[in-house]
Chains A and B, each alone.
Chain A
Amino acid sequence: MPLSARFFALLSRVRALFGSRRLDAEFGREIDSHLEMLVDDYVRRGLPPEQARREAVLRFGGPMQIQEANRDHRGLPFVETTLQDIRYGLRALRKYPAFSAIAIATLAVGIGAGTSVFSVVGAVLLRPLPYRNPGELVRIFETNPLRRWTRNIAAPANWADWQVRNKSFTGIAAYEQFSNNGSGASEMFLTGFGEPQGVKNLGVSGNFFEVLGAVPLLGRTFTEDEQYEGKARVAVLSYGLWQAAFGGDPHIVGKTITLSGRGYDVVGVMPRAFFFPGRDVQIWTPFGYTPKRIADSRRPHWLGVVARLKPGVTFEQARDDMTGIARQLEQQYPDTNTQMGVRLEPLHGSFASESRTALLMLSAAVGLLFLIVCANIANLQLGRAVSRGRELSIRRALGAGRPRLLRQLLTESVLLSLIGGALGLAAAALGRTMLSRFAADAIPLFAEVQIDRSVLFFAVALSLCAPILFGIVPALSSSRGDLVTERSESTRGNQGLRHALVAAEVALSIVLVVGAVLLVRSLDRLQDVDPGFKQEQAVTFTLTLPSARYADPASRYRGFLEIERRVSEQAGIQAIGATSVLALRGFGWTGDTTIEGRAATDYERDTRHASVTTNYFGAMGIRMLAGRPFELTDTRDQPEVAIVNHSLARRYFRGLSDADVVGKRITYGRPQDNARWVTIVGVVADEKQEGMDLPAEPTAYSSIGQRQQNPLTYVVRTSIGPEAALAAVRAQIRDFDKDLALTQVATLQEVVDGAMAGARFRTTLLALFAGIALLLAALGIYGVLAYFVSQRAREIGIRVALGAQPSGVFRMVLRQGMLPVVLGAAAGVAVAVPMTTLLRTLLFGVQPIDPPTYAIALTALAGIAVAACAVPALRATRVDPLVALRDE
């Protein structure tokens, strides 16, 4: 048959789905007219009308069957039956409004929660990164057991050697990572467009965009050559900055913009989807080093490295290649590269590594919740099947086969699920903004939570998956049996199934509740951790003095001090100090330390450094444990002094008290470096550095008067509230220099909260899921028991009539209701033990096998289960024997 004929046939069948009544009538008329003609014929041949009519019908061959066949072939019978099932299903859903409402609501919760979690997981783990063949991209870190480095940023000289020596990559790009705060991008500010505006700039190598395979929206990206100092000052803008600061100016390429006092030519704009390494980076510039600076920098590490595998080269081959090169470099430069290894990570996995475990945990949790939802609805359906028994029996008696009934029941389930799924998806879409704000500090900076096609697809898949889980067993159970056995046999088996489902719900809930309690206890411990400073009533902001206008260290020093002085004189400002590295925002630079009096080969590695102003410790509320704070007299022309934290004192001077450490001398280098001696003049309490859950590392603070740093982060302690304090600060700074901009403005409390955002995010979600799970389990327990009581009313009535006490009846019902709960709880604990050990890395201060946690979880469950049982049990004690006996 030609294609066109097939197409027309299908078209006609589809069209026939609509107006089937009209088509029936028309065909009826056609048959009538045909019969009339036959009758006419027979009459003409001399038959009496009665007989003519009979003959006509015989000759025609059963008008009803012909009509039926026409109906079947006219449209799409499958679709018509389904439409009929849907109409019937909707009617059935309306007939049991309480059941439908509960089922739809729980499905909406299950599917909504699943979809929301998926939207985050998809954003972080699944959505491909916006680079060409992102699977070919790897990140390269340096490792060093001597310094306890497991994934450290690279030394520029090593990076340069990797580029020349490797055989595995089409290119190896690098970008500056001066801090591990956010994307590690540096703050610059853009002037000449209204208020000076802080922007995040990432210094990158010339081949950066080429390695990523990122094509600009406008203009071009960088050339190899442009990475060197003095070649060109050029910049590529992010789509966001281009829109926000330049109004999407289509002629921006070629214009010059002023960044931190220097002019840069805009050469390109990246597309909206592009980011690297996080969405916070707004501008990319070549890092502009001299070749000599790169070649000489083998000791300091400050480059993030990303490379693209050559086609056909596997990850393992590349790793072996790089390990070989690292070994060559180790031999060639023992001074800096002893035990320096490399670590390769696929780019996407590397970006997502920190939130991966938590997201997988949440996926598993929401999966369990989904199963509980399905078990609960299956349970409700089994309960409803009993009251629908009569209706189904009648349908069966009227000739509906079992497959037909199954199909009808499953259609109802799918309807329920699709309605619930639509509501769930709507809720997920409405909650997206809230969720993404809540998740912002908990997931990597690149991830953007959105409801896209894949999320939509997932919601639909869940909605279609659910009926299989909750619909098939009840459908099989209630389509079985016949009129006679209906009310006795099948309901008994049904009841056993319902107990099993309740036990399963309880078991799954226990797993969730145990996990949630573990996380809540961890978060609780985390919140009790002393950050080492007082986070209340303090604001913080970062300030860069652009080297274009503050060329020499002395002028920057004077500038920072002057700002500090002016702000401190404002009303309501209790204290102000500044540091090069704010607590909980990682660290700046680290280096070796020599301790006076040790053997010449014995030195400490990886000491952290920060430069602070004299009032810093006071403004932060960090306790002085011994010695003195920095003084304004600790300047460059004076002998260098240091204040160390408690960890350094304890680890580097074993056995000495803090007071004894004061007066000791150290250098910032190895013994053979013969660096300048530094005298320790004070010891302060540890402040948290990389996280509330991580111990502080040994840190040496320098006076800003002796070691300059730019930018500095100010801490302002105030009694007038953060907004008022910041307004005063802004006014003073504008007054000092109108082209300066405050960046990273936050209260100290927000900084602390941000450090716990990941823990809070996963804990809140898991606790929410666990709570819903318990509620659903309670609903299941209640439903089964309430049914039990209504069925046994007569038996209970007899017992009461025979003298049973209400307390005895209560206990009997309670026992009946608690049996599946106890079995389920036992199974749940057995499953929870191995599952929660997987949570180990998400816990803080709590062991996975934590007896109090299990006690809390089981108590919560017992409480809820007893409450759910008590209602029907109480009802049982009020059964009036007369009424119960009369009823039957």
Chain B
Amino acid sequence: MADKSDILQGTLDLMVLQTLEAMGTLHGYGIARRIEQVSEDVLQLNQGTIYASLLRLQQRRWISASWGTSDNNRKAKYYAITRAGRKQLAEQTENWERIAGVMGRLLRLADR
């Protein structure tokens, strides 16, 4: 169980980082919306879950946060990726692709 959640945690963290990298500064709601849109609603998560990820990334200083005002005049906390976060994103992306490649080959092999 722990292993599964670890993988999920890591995955979500990577998604958040990528989202911030792609979209620039965003608030929690924005990030959640964006991930839902990109996943074409395959990934149905409670939006609140995103905050566990945001806390982790903040603690590691991969993202930074500050309060700002949204388009429709609401106070919201905005997140932005940091330099260390970008580095981490690059590493993890590479890692992820490598593993995905291996997994793909392995699963195809098993099919035969």
Q: Which residues of A contact B (CB under 8 A)?
A: 1-2, 4-6, 8-9, 12-13, 27, 29-31, 33-34, 36-38, 40, 59-63, 65-66, 69-70, 73-74
Contact = CB atoms under 8 A, between A and B. Distances in A.
A601 to B, nearest CB: 92
A8 B61 contact: yes
Interface in B35-73: 46-49, 51-52, 55-56, 58-62, 70, 72
A2 B82 CA distance: 15
Nearest to B85: A5
Nearest to B44: A59
Nearest to B76: A33
B47 A60 contact: yes
Given A61-B47, A69-B52, A40 B62 contact: no
B77 interface: yes
Contacts of B32: 34
A74 B48 contact: no
Given A40-B72, A59-B47, A34 B59 contact: no
A12 B58 contact: yes
B84 A4 contact: yes
Q: Main secondary structure on chain A at its contact with chain B?
A: helix
A69 B48 CA distance: 10
Q: Main secondary structure on chain B at its contact with chain A?
A: helix
Contact of B52 (A29, A30, A34, A73): A73
Contact of B28 (A8, A30, A40): A30
B98 interface: no
Contacts of A69: 51-52
23 contacts: A2-B88, A5-B60, A5-B88, A29-B75, A30-B51, A33-B29, A33-B70, A34-B29, A34-B32, A34-B47, A36-B74, A37-B29, A37-B76, A59-B47, A60-B46, A61-B46, A62-B46, A65-B48, A66-B49, A66-B52, A73-B52, A73-B56, A74-B55
A8 B51 contact: no
Nearest to A26: B77
A66 B60 contact: no
Interface centre among B27, B59, B60, B76 (most CB of A within 10 A): B59
A31 B48 contact: yes
A-B complex: 6 closest residue pairs judged by Cβ atoms: A61-B46, A66-B48, A5-B60, A9-B59, A12-B59, A37-B29
A40 B33 CA distance: 13
Interface centre among B48, B49, B76 (most CB of A within 10 A): B48
Interface in B1-57: 27-29, 32, 46-49, 51-52, 55-56
A8 B60 contact: yes
B59 A8 contact: yes
B36 to A, nearest CB: 10
A38 B84 CA distance: 31
A36 B27 CA distance: 13
A69 B60 CA distance: 17
Contact of A5 (B47, B62, B72): B62
Interface centre among B28, B49, B51, B72 (most CB of A within 10 A): B51
B28 to A, nearest CB: 5
A60 B72 contact: no
A27 B46 CA distance: 17
Contacts of A33: 27, 29, 70, 74-77
Contacts of A27: 51
Contact of A60 (B48, B52, B61, B76): B48
Nearest to A15: B59
Contacts of A40: 72, 74
Given A34-B32, A61-B47, 18 more contacts: A4-B84, A5-B60, A8-B59, A8-B60, A9-B56, A13-B59, A29-B75, A30-B51, A34-B47, A34-B76, A59-B46, A59-B47, A60-B46, A66-B48, A66-B51, A69-B51, A70-B51, A70-B52
B60 A9 contact: yes
B48 A63 contact: yes
Interface centre among B27, B29, B76 (most CB of A within 10 A): B29
B52 A61 contact: no
Contact of B47 (A29, A36, A38): A38
A12 B28 CA distance: 20
Given A60-B46, A60-B48, A73-B52, A5 B84 contact: yes
A549 to B, nearest CB: 82
B60 A34 contact: no
A36 B72 CA distance: 11
Nearest to B45: A61
A69 B51 CA distance: 9
Nearest to B72: A40
Contacts of B75: 29, 33
A69 B46 CA distance: 14
Contacts of A29: 75
Nearest to B29: A37
A101 B89 CA distance: 58
A73 B28 contact: no
Nearest to B77: A30
Contacts of A13: 59
A62 B62 contact: no
B59 A37 contact: no
Interface centre among A5, A63, A70 (most CB of B within 10 A): A5
Contacts of A36: 74
Contacts of B58: 12
Contacts of A38: 29, 47
B62 to A, nearest CB: 7
A62 B76 contact: no
Contacts of B70: 33, 37
Nearest to B32: A34
A165 B56 CA distance: 74
Given A61-B47, A62-B48, A70-B52, A34 B28 contact: yes
A59 B59 CA distance: 26
A723 to B, nearest CB: 74
A39 to B, nearest CB: 11
A476 B74 CA distance: 54
A24 to B, nearest CB: 13
A295 to B, nearest CB: 79
A9 B58 CA distance: 8
